[in-house]
Chains A and B, each alone.
Chain A
Amino acid sequence: MEKKMAFAAGSGTAAQVSDDCLTDDLFERVGISEQESEKISRESVSYWKDAMRRFRQNKVAMASLVILLVIILMCIFEPIFGPIKYDTQDYDVTNQGPTLQHIFGCDDLGRDIFARIWVGGRVSLAIGCIGALVSLVVGVIYGGISGFCGGIVDDIMMRILEIIVSIPYMVVVIIFSLFLGKGMGSLLIALCVTSWTGLARIVRGQIIELKQSEYVLAARVLGTPSFKIILKHLIPNTMSIIIINTTFAIPSFIFSEAFLSFLGMGIQPPLTSWGAMAALGQQQMTYYPHELIFPALAISVTMLAFNLLGDGLRDAFDPKLRK
């Protein structure tokens, strides 16, 4: 109908298009039906799908994810299939710089740094992941109970948490390594004991906020029992924050491990980690800088990738937070 009108107006001169040209039957009510107006043409997307779509669009985060996957796969498979074992000593090549055979060079005992990086990476990543997982489980349960129960339970649980926060974790690490001996076990326990508090606080705050939200009130009015409210309303709505925080927790664990190993309180030889390798390399820094550079690079790249991944996840899950 519109086309016809345009044609009529376009073909005639101004004089010809008079009022009697535009008869009533040229006009037709286009009106849309009630049902039609309620239609949503966009394809239905769930929250997760939408977040994944936003995440895939984020090139930096996707690149970080690829880098992390490569690092993780190398850590798993290189020590199994690699040509040189990490603890093989070859005194002919001590402190040798990067060559074709030893692409990252060798350390002061003639061990291949390339092989050692991936073995050390296993320790660093394991500590990062296990630590983050433990702090996730403990933090979510502790914070969830505290926030959901509220009142006196919340008060007591938060005071206990504050006491734990107030103890410096160096002290905890030293105490544990005194009793359990230095090594991965005591390091992990010490880190886990002190690290869950941040997540517990965040989860508690989130649960308290959600507990008063109208959809939880609506669920109460509808007679939904508490465990169902927790499972169907509270947990799904805190999930994104939990995931984001866990992603940020992994690099901080890796760094803590590296830092403590650097100080000699972490991993003991012959086992190694990135921190321990950096500590060894630091002694040779002036003459053989490659012994420090490669472990340090491994730490930096991994931490950067985890942080950028966390940023990407945060933007994907919670676009409101983006500037």
Chain B
Amino acid sequence: MDANALIHVEHLKKYFDLHKRGTLMAVDDVSFDIRRGETFGLVGESGCGKTTCGRTVIGLYRKTDGKVVYDGRDIDSMTEEDRFHFKKKAQMIFQDPYASLNPRMTVEDIIAEGMDNFHMCQSTKERQERVYDLLHQVGLNKEHAARFPHEFSGGQRQRIGIARALAVEPEFIVCDEPISALDVSIQAQVVNLLVHLQREKGLTYLFIAHDLSMVKHISDRVGVMYMGHIVEQAPSNELYTNPLHPYTIALMSAIPVTDPDVERSKKVVPLEGEVSSPINCRPGCRFASRCKYATDRCRQETPVLKEIAEDHFVACFQKE
């Protein structure tokens, strides 16, 4: 465990019971550390368990097994008071700005919801001042406080979502694909706002996304997920220049390059086959069915993350 870690996740498992159809292993034995003040990116294709992982870490889903340690304290063994404190310190920004704001509440009430729950304001005047201040921080103005979510654009809504998370003065924010529902020009605006807020307030982010270049831009370290496992984890520059896991190599080769000449001559490593079902997985590397290097060992034994270079972890038998 990293001494500087704000969040320490160890062997986290989240299984969904599908009754007769078995068990869906959405997150299976995932471990990572997020250091104070850094951004940890989590990438992977749709349905690989990124969102479930984020929601389980923050406590929206009850985890099946494993440990989440926040600031040196295990969440399971926290007292009621500490847990209340954790709820205040750990916040979340959601994917869909159209679904994450209650259409019947004004922006002021949306932003102040958390402040009310934690009794952060003594008077309505103070509450209003705080809301104005938060709106200003995310680049909106106080006239917006009395309006309803449907009157805003996607980017503005997402910024209201950010203001709502900031309202309770968190230390750690799970950003669950905060930009994937926005168009490109607005994406930059929201990402820059997130980076700016991080610098100003020393926030720690778990940044979930499937846009690889955006994750590279914002993250200090990146974990690559495939079907509930983290297959590779490294500092973001290292991962993008020197990917080791066959899945990461294929992912990286798929990033478009802006230079047309380079793009034309670039070699894309195509992946064969489809993602297999995450229901009732047997031991073995989850990627084995699509990996051209797969051996019998890969199909029988589950590889674990091993440190290959400094701070660069890979779960692959070929790289040992």
Task: Using CB atoms and an 8 Å cutoff, list the residues of chain A in contact with chain B.
Answer: 34-35, 38-40, 42, 44-47, 213-215, 217-225, 228, 232-233, 236-237
Contact = CB atoms under 8 A, between A and B. Distances in A.
Interface stretch (B94-102, B194-202, B261-269): B94-102
A223 B84 contact: yes
Given A213-B99, A215-B101, A224 B151 contact: no
A40 B135 CA distance: 15
Nearest to B83: A223
Contacts, number: 83
Contacts of B87: 221-223
A119 B224 CA distance: 75
Nearest to B86: A223
Interface string B63-99: 0000000000000000000001001101110111001
Interface in B213-230: none
B308 interface: no
Q: Which 8 A-B pairs have the closest CB atoms?
A: A222-B114, A214-B100, A236-B104, A223-B87, A214-B94, A214-B99, A215-B102, A223-B117
B91 A233 contact: no
B148 interface: yes
A47 B103 CA distance: 8
Q: Tell me the dominant secondary structure on chain A's binding face.
A: helix
B53 interface: no
B152 interface: yes
B148 A40 contact: no
B140 to A, nearest CB: 6
Contact of B156 (A34, A38, A44): A38
Given A40-B151, A221-B60, 13 more contacts: A38-B144, A42-B151, A45-B151, A214-B96, A215-B100, A215-B101, A218-B164, A221-B90, A221-B92, A222-B91, A223-B114, A236-B104, A237-B102
Given A223-B114, A232-B102, A38 B60 contact: no
B118 to A, nearest CB: 7
Contacts of B103: 47, 237
Interface in B134-170: 139-141, 143-144, 146-148, 150-152, 156, 161, 164, 168
A214 B90 CA distance: 16
A214 B113 contact: no
Given A213-B99, A222-B117, A236-B104, A44 B92 contact: no
A35 B141 contact: yes
B118 A223 contact: yes
A219 B96 contact: no
A98 B67 CA distance: 85
Contact of A237 (B91, B104, B150, B156): B104
A40 B143 CA distance: 9
B91 A44 contact: no
B152 A214 contact: no
